[in-house]
């Protein structure tokens, strides 16, 4: 800050201001009018997210499964009190006890996917629109800018079932367009939610006890979801269930049942995917099935076979023993393997012949760990490898399985996201302020944005902890956050009009923003000092004066 003949300059400034005010203001307005208008899509607040709420963290499984994972302590004590059997399942169990085959069969069919707790929860999007819409278009993405999407489609109702699309521990973004009569549309904010890190249960109509066996942290890396599924028999699958299986892009079906135990799955159409029948009788540890163990596990060593689904009759014992082997080979923790195994209890078929007082499932998995203890190795991953080698599996195949499950060997991505042309080359700008809903805009690269509303003087918009400069173009996804700071107000008088801006203490005001081509630009404070820089340490008023060159 410099004082240059303050009295003289003040006098000259007043004279020049009166002489050139009209010309200066006219030139200033003309310059403003020449600025290009950047493309900026303001999203409508007329559409609000109901479920999930914007920013919410949701679970994909029911509360009882969450309870099992939250409370299981790793000890081999009875967990029967922790496991919840619904009244409908109790009725089914009574029918079995009474050896009433007809009533039991009717109960099974009634329970399939109606009382089966494996239906994913919180995968229904619901919203409210203040006006009338003929239909809605919904986009769901893992990208904040919606540049790609995992789902894009139309619905007549203000809700959408995502149907097995969601994966655990991921951030999702979704947007709704209300399609109006006459071809116009109202576009909502971009809503966001996060899924919890938990087991991924799958809904296949007519098939019980279905889940993804990936998603665990291991010494070899985190196992991927979307590669391998386990379930009960597929004999009673419906047309809807077949479509749901197709959406999972299953390539291989491994049937662990005995040859006379069930019919070949109606989900299999000629040449659609490979079918391997490898009876396990009781479990993979049955000494009579070593050749079948070799055939099955070898299939998991070939990346061309994925995604894979395997099953027995109820999807609990033989299926559970194969899942037990795969997860132990991958180094999944003992506690997580036990919980994953016990999760079958929450399905219709998986609860068959399990006592309310004592968990047969828990006893079964204890017995499998005792068998593994008889094989060489420092841990259960090594012991499992020793067991599989005794069945004829090679070390090369073991390494391949671990690399496939952890993504080191790539397979065709079953959930490849599709490019969304509507959002190509756009960036998402968000504004977050305590007590207000998060606000989003989608802008072209190089656009200049403005704050959606004014803040109180004790707050300022920041980006990555620094005061936001709204004159700078947007070149990336940007998050503006309102933060409380200490600072002062700087008033600018330009062409007789006064504007105010809040600056934090010690901030340097960018005076160059007022400079104009073909004009000399002067900045004068209340005392008549001519300024060439301004560091804020108090409330200040600046007069901006233009003189034609």
> Tell me: the pLDDT tens digits for 173-200?
999 999 988 888 888 988 999 999 989 9
Look at residue 506 in the predicted model and tell me its pLDDT.
87
Segment 256-264 shows an average pLDDT of 76
Look at residue 488 in the predicted model and tell me its pLDDT.
87
Q: What would the DSSP string read from start to end of 302-367? A: -GGG-SEEEE-SSSSSHHHHHHHHHHHHHT--HHHHHHHHHGGGGSTTTTTT--SSS-HHHHHHHH
Rg over alpha carbons for the chain, rounded to the nearest Å, is 33
Mean confidence (pLDDT) of the chain: 82
Out of 12-21, 122-131, 247-256, 263-272, least confident range: 12-21
Out of 6-15, 305-314, 354-363, 514-523, least confident range: 6-15
HSE-up of 208 (CA within 13 Å, CB side)?
27
Beta bridge partners of 311: 231, 255
The pTM is what?
A: 0.71
Out of 4-13, 23-32, 112-121, 434-443, least confident range: 23-32
Q: Would you say residue 240 has pLDDT above 70? A: yes
DSSP 373: T
Q: Which domains does the chain have, with CATH numbers?
A: 6-37+486-548 (3.10.20), 62-69+202-405 (3.90.190.10), 421-483 (2.60.40.4270)
Sign of CA dihedral 419, 420, 424, 430: negative
Binned at pLDDT 50, 70 and 90, residue 450 comes out as: confident
Q: Would you say residue 125 has pLDDT above 70? A: yes
Query: What would the two tokens of residue 11 be?
Result: 């006098």
Look at residue 473 in the predicted model and tell me its pLDDT.
92
Segment 303-320 shows an average pLDDT of 93
Helices marked H in 37-141 — which ranges?
63-71, 87-97, 101-111
Nearest alpha-carbon partner for 205 in 179, 180, 240: 240
Q: Would you say residue 356 has pLDDT above 60? A: no
Segment 341-359 shows an average pLDDT of 71
Q: Would you say residue 35 has pLDDT above 60? A: no
Pairing of β 274-277 and β 252-255:
parallel
Q: Would you say residue 20 has pLDDT above 50? A: no
Sign of CA dihedral 329, 334, 338, 340: negative
Q: Would you say residue 36 has pLDDT above 90? A: no
């Amino acid at each position: 800050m410099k004082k240059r003949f303050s009295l003289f300059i003040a006098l000259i400034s007043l004279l020049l201001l009166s002489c050139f005010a009209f010309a200066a203001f006219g030139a200033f307005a003309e310059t403003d009018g020449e600025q290009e208008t950047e493309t900026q899509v303001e999203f409508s607040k007329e559409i609000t997210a109901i479920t999930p709420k914007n920013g919410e963290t949701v679970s994909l499984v029911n509360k009882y499964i969450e309870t099992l994972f939250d409370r299981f302590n790793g000890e081999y004590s009875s967990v029967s009190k922790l496991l919840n059997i619904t009244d409908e399942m109790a009725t089914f169990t009574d029918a079995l006890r009474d050896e009433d085959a007809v009533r039991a069969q009717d109960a099974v069919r009634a329970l399939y996917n109606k009382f089966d707790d494996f239906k994913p929860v919180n995968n229904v999007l619901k919203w409210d629109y203040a006006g009338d819409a003929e239909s809605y278009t919904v986009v769901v993405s893992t990208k904040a800018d919606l540049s790609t999407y995992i789902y894009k489609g139309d619905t007549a109702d203000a809700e959408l079932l995502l149907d097995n699309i969601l994966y655990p521990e991921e951030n999702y973004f979704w947007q709704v367009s209300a399609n109006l009569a006459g071809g116009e549309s109202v576009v909502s904010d971009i809503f966001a939610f996060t899924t919890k890190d938990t087991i991924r249960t799958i809904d296949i109509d007519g098939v019980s006890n279905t889940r993804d066996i990936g998603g665990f942290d291991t010494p070899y890396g985190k196992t991927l979801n979307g590669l391998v599924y386990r379930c009960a028999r597929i004999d009673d699958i419906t047309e809807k269930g077949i479509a749901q299986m197709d959406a999972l892009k299953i390539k291989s079906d491994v049937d662990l049942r005995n040859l006379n135990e069930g019919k070949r799955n109606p989900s299999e159409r000629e040449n659609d995917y490979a079918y391997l029948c490898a009876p396990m009788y009781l479990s993979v540890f049955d000494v009579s099935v070593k050749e079948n163990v070799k055939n099955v596990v070898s299939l998991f060593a070939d990346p061309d076979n994925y995604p894979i689904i395997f099953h027995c009759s109820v999807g609990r014992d033989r299926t559970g023993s194969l899942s037990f082997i795969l997860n132990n080979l991958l180094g999944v923790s003992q506690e997580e393997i036990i919980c994953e195994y016990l999760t079958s209890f929450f399905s219709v078929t998986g609860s068959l012949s399990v006592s309310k007082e004592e968990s047969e499932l828990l006893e079964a998995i204890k017995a499998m760990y005792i068998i593994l203890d008889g094989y060489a190795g420092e841990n259960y991953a090594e012991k499992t490898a020793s067991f599989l080698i005794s069945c004829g599996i090679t070390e090369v195949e073991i390494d391949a399985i671990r690399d496939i499950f952890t993504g080191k060997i790539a397979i065709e991505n079953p959930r490849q996201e599709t490019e969304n042309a509507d959002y190509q080359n756009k960036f998402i700008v968000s504004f977050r302020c305590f007590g207000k809903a998060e606000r989003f805009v989608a802008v072209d690269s190089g656009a200049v944005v403005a704050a959606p509303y004014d803040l109180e003087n004790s707050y300022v918009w920041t980006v990555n902890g620094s005061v936001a400069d709204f004159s700078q173009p947007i070149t990336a996804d940007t998050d503006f956050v309102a933060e409380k700071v200490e600072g002062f107000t700087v008033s600018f008088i330009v062409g007789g009009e006064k504007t105010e801006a809040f600056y934090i203490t010690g901030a340097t005001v960018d005076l160059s923003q007022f400079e104009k081509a073909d004009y000399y630009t002067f900045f004068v404070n209340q005392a008549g000092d001519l300024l060439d820089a301004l560091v804020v340490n108090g409330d200040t008023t600046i007069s901006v004066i233009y003189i034609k060159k």
